[in-house]
Amino acid sequence: MADRKGTPHPLTEPGVWIERIGDRVFLRHVPALFLDRDGTINVDTDYPSDPAEIELRPQMLPAIAAANRVGIPVVVVTNQSGIARGYFGWSAFAAVNGRVLELLGDQGVSVDMVLACAYHEAGVGPLAVADHPMRKPNPGMLIEAGKRLDLDLQRSLIVGDKLADMRAGKRAGLAQGWLVDGEAAVQPGFAIRRLQDGDDVVGLITAIETLGRDYRS
User: In the annotation, is 112 catalytic?
Assistant: no
In sequence order, the 6+-apart residues with CB closer than 8 A to the CB of 208 are: 33, 63, 66, 67, 70, 72, 157
Give me the count of residues in the chain: 217
* Identified catalytic residue from 38, 152, 165, 200: 38
Q: Which of 138, 154, 146 is nearest to 73 (CA)?
A: 146
* Identified catalytic residue from 3, 23, 36, 106: 36
User: In the annotation, is 38 catalytic?
Assistant: yes
Helices 198-216 and 61-70, axial angle in degrees (round to 10): 10
In sequence order, the 6+-apart residues with CB closer than 8 A to the CB of 23 are: none
H/E element holding 141? helix 140-149
Give catalytic residue positions: 36, 38
